[in-house]
A and B are shown apart, each in its own frame.
Chain A
């Protein structure tokens, strides 16, 4: 927030607008078009499951072309990634700004999600692989990078083997109520021969009974970063170190969880019928 309110001041040469945006965009005197866009962005960040085709139709009625909508969603989704990286790693703010300080809230307003939609864990549609990337076709560079970025997140590392990564992904996708995500990750876990009972619990957004304590910690931290990233503290990371995560492992866990917030927002933000995620293994 602090950095980008300052960048907004530079972009607009309008300090009053930046101050108002930093305090509350709804009181910033924006045009109806900008207000519509930012209500969409706010909803997509807070509670991506509340969006449906009506959200996109609202943008279209406000005059947004398809390529613009894609970039609204991508920009918001990528900042959902960056925000979790910043708070999950306790990054020090190093810029300077004359704007009043941002005061993080004590409690977040994330509304209660609906009950999870349970996926039976069966085979998905044959053509699921390309659907997610096709919706990004309006930006070929981003489309090409999206598949590489996703493959990177599921490459096993010493502290985070493949099955652990997919369990985290299924859990986070369920917390975000992102059906394309949990369809894909439940299938990936089944292909790896993971315990079906684990998949059932994770699909409900629950930490499965019987998981090793270290993996429970990973899932609890993943939930924290997904639902209340601003509550992350250094001691949460310190608790992961005895479980085999060094600084690089902590970075990789934070990248994975943060990436999943990007992915769920792209899938749900562009959630026209048929958008789904490709298999990852």
Chain B
């Protein structure tokens, strides 16, 4: 990956898989989960391509909610309402807030 940052998580984690619990991506999603993924994608508007992971799947933070589709829809529906509505702060301002919050919480991801 050259200068590209290693994808190895600094904290310990499983050698394979996307996290410590089972996660279901778009390709394997069925029923309610599939509907929620479709709804979130439709409501996502024209988000910049940088938010699409290299895997082509939904981001792991989204996929981590996949075992509870209702919780997934609510958490990321709220994300859309806060970050991607006509009332939202400018993109750069939002990402400054996200970066500083994540730093305060010592969150690698």
**A interface residue numbers (CB < 8 A to B):** 1-8, 10-12, 21-22, 25, 30, 34, 37-38, 41-42, 45-46, 67-68, 71-72, 74-76, 78-87, 89-105, 108, 138-139, 141-142, 145-146, 148-149, 152, 229-230, 233-234, 237, 247-248, 250-252, 255
Contacts and interface: CB of A to CB of B under 8 A. Distances in A.
Nearest to A258: B75
B14 to A, nearest CB: 7
Contacts of A148: 74
B28 interface: no
A95 B6 CA distance: 9
A141 B99 CA distance: 24
Contacts of A79: 97-98, 101-102, 105
B107 A83 contact: yes
B88 A234 contact: no
Interface of B: 1, 3-7, 9-14, 17-22, 48, 50-51, 53-55, 59-61, 64-65, 67-68, 70-71, 74-75, 77-83, 85, 87-89, 91-109
Contact of A93 (B9, B88, B96): B9
Nearest to B48: A10
A101 B9 CA distance: 10
A94 B12 CA distance: 15
Given A1-B107, A90-B20, A229-B105, A251 B64 contact: yes
A75 B83 contact: yes
Contact of A67 (B50, B61, B87): B87
A92 B7 contact: yes
Contact of A92 (B18, B70, B92): B18
Contact of A85 (B13, B61, B88): B61
A214 B73 CA distance: 29
B109 A87 contact: yes
Contacts of B7: 92-94, 96
B82 A8 contact: no
B14 A38 contact: no
A8 B6 CA distance: 19
A34 B16 CA distance: 40
B9 A142 contact: no
Contact of B89 (A68, A99, A149): A68
Given A149-B75, A247-B67, A11 B95 contact: yes
B101 to A, nearest CB: 4
5 contacts: A22-B103, A72-B97, A78-B78, A79-B97, A102-B103
Contacts of B55: 94
A8 B12 contact: no
A17 to B, nearest CB: 9
Contacts of B54: 94-96
Nearest to A23: B103
Please give me the 6 A-B residue pairs with the lowest Cβ-Cβ distance, nearest first: A45-B104, A1-B102, A141-B81, A86-B109, A8-B95, A83-B107
B103 A145 contact: no
From B59, B60, B64, B83, residue with most partner A Cβ within 10 Å: B64
Given A91-B60, A98-B5, A5 B99 contact: yes
Given A75-B83, A82-B61, A234 B12 contact: yes
